[in-house]
Amino acid sequence: SHRQGIAASPRSEGGAASGRSAVGGLGLARIVTVSGRGTLTLGELAMEQFRRRAMELRDEWEDEERYVRRNVGRVIVNQSSRPTLSRVQKSTASARHRFRMRSLARLQEAARLESMASEIAAKLLAAGVDLSHVPGDSSLTPGASDQGPRVGGDAAAPGTARECASPGNAISSSVRMGVSALRSEAGALEETLANKELYVELGVAERLAQSPSLNPPDSHLLQWRDQAIRSYSRHESSRRERAATLRAQADIWERRLASGDLLQEDPDGGSSSRETAPHPASESDTTQGRRAGRRRGRQQGQAAGEGTAATGPSAPSVSSASPMSRLEGSLRGTLLGSSVALPDMGRVPYIKLAIEKLRLDARRIDGRWASRDVYVRSRIAEYMLEEHNPNPSSSEIRQLIHTAQRQYMRRAR
């Protein structure tokens, strides 16, 4: 895809040229010249874009252990403060669940993109475009996307469970992968910033490849090119700032990797085993003793004031109290711990209202991102409401679908 010219295609100098007349009546065969890339067809750019995206998806979603390590690493390095072991364990469980819920759909999307690239190649060949210089699918494992994700990972792969037997090694491996991901994202942003012409022509090529017309009129290409230029200008400064932030964050975590200073203690000073199987705190630990004493005092007060059943004069164990009771007790004296009178509900603690709001938000987000089609439909509906446009044109619908699909693939990982 880094070819400097097309056989029998004249080269032009300077920046990106507007697409010349289509070869064989095929819009994808329009020839453009891009600084640093030479002369090539829009179809080649579209093939390159789809294959690159397919490879990124497969690299991200083919192997469970690699996904979990990388995802946990990104969660860690996206924060300025060091994580606790319990937070790392929760992030690991969330990443594993997310992989098992989404990986098959992501690999199917990769297969769809590869199929689109192959269809473009077939159309270009049929139009008489020489593709002998274009790398084939040798970099793509045949049928890889049809095999499904590898659950549990490969013991020989770097950063997998067997290599990272201890929690410390596992976290170090995740942080290394997170730092690498930060630098990769920064590099991709800088590459985009370095070649505006390539960014614009890639955008035009992708729109052209998804157009229902084999050879759209020049006015459509001009419109797509103008939209890509505006998009580049609109995001240029934020991309530059984002790249600098990513590199600075990577530097911070590389220094922490070198020093081995990756974790901080859990707030209660407990270990992961203490979190998974809570017990009354030891009286020999002053801090834990005070905390346990406060909990026992609250439970005794509840038993006396509310008639709670008790088996004897001693307080029940900490684990016998419900999580909500413990939470409300710990918030006593704060706004979240207070209550408000509501019609037909009586007095309700603010903390319960906050939890219910978070659950509603989570259900809404889950519904919105459940699948690409659901997300695309919701974005089109939002556009019609926000723009007061109940009947968008076909070109507007295609643009909305294209934009929503790109947003979904970029953000739903």
- Could you give the residue ranges of the DSSP H alpha helices within 309-371? 323-330, 350-368
The tally of CA atoms less than 13 A away on the side-chain side of residue 18 is 11
Mind listing the pLDDT tens digit for each residue in 94-107?
Answer: 999 999 999 999 99
DSSP letter string over 253-265? HHHHHHHT---B-
Lowest mean pLDDT among 4-8, 17-21, 112-116: 4-8
Question: SS3 string of 268-291?
Answer: CCCCHHHHHCCCCCCCCCHHHHHH
Note whether 27 and 42 are within 8 A (CB): yes
Mind listing the pLDDT tens digit for each residue in 344-396?
Answer: 677 777 777 888 788 887 877 877 777 788 888 888 888 787 777 778 888 78
What is the spatial distance between Cα 304 and Cα 247, in angstroms, rounded to a whole number? 58
Res 56 pLDDT > 80? yes
Lowest mean pLDDT among 14-23, 36-45, 89-98, 353-362: 14-23
Q: Is 349 helix (H, G, I), strand (E, B) or coil?
A: strand
What's the rounded mean pLDDT across residues 295-299?
A: 49
**Position 198 confidence tier, pLDDT thresholds 50, 70, 90:** very high
Higher pLDDT, 329 or 279: 329
**Position 152 confidence tier, pLDDT thresholds 50, 70, 90:** low
Burial class (CB in 10 A: 0-12, 13-18, 19+), 350: middle
Res 313 pLDDT > 80? no
**Total residue length of the chain:** 413
**pTM of the shown model:** 0.58
Q: Is 359 helix (H, G, I), strand (E, B) or coil?
A: helix
Mind listing the pLDDT tens digit for each residue in 211-264?
Answer: 888 889 999 999 999 999 999 999 999 999 999 999 999 999 999 999 988 887
What's the rounded mean pLDDT across residues 28-32?
A: 92
What's the rounded mean pLDDT across residues 118-132?
A: 91
What is the spatial distance between Cα 27 and Cα 25, in angstroms, rounded to a whole number? 7
pLDDT at 324: 58
Res 303 pLDDT > 90? no
Tokens of 306: 């509310």
Strand (E) or helix (H) holding 340: strand 339-342
DSSP letter string over 25-78? G-GGG-EEEETTTEEEEHHHHHHHHHHHHHHHHHHHHSBHHHHHHHHHHHHHHT
CA of 1: how far to CAs of 70, 193, 213, in Å?
A: 28, 19, 25
What's the rounded mean pLDDT across residues 145-173?
A: 59
What is the spatial distance between Cα 305 and Cα 152, in angstroms, rounded to a whole number? 52
What is the spatial distance between Cα 216 and Cα 205, in angstroms, rounded to a whole number? 12
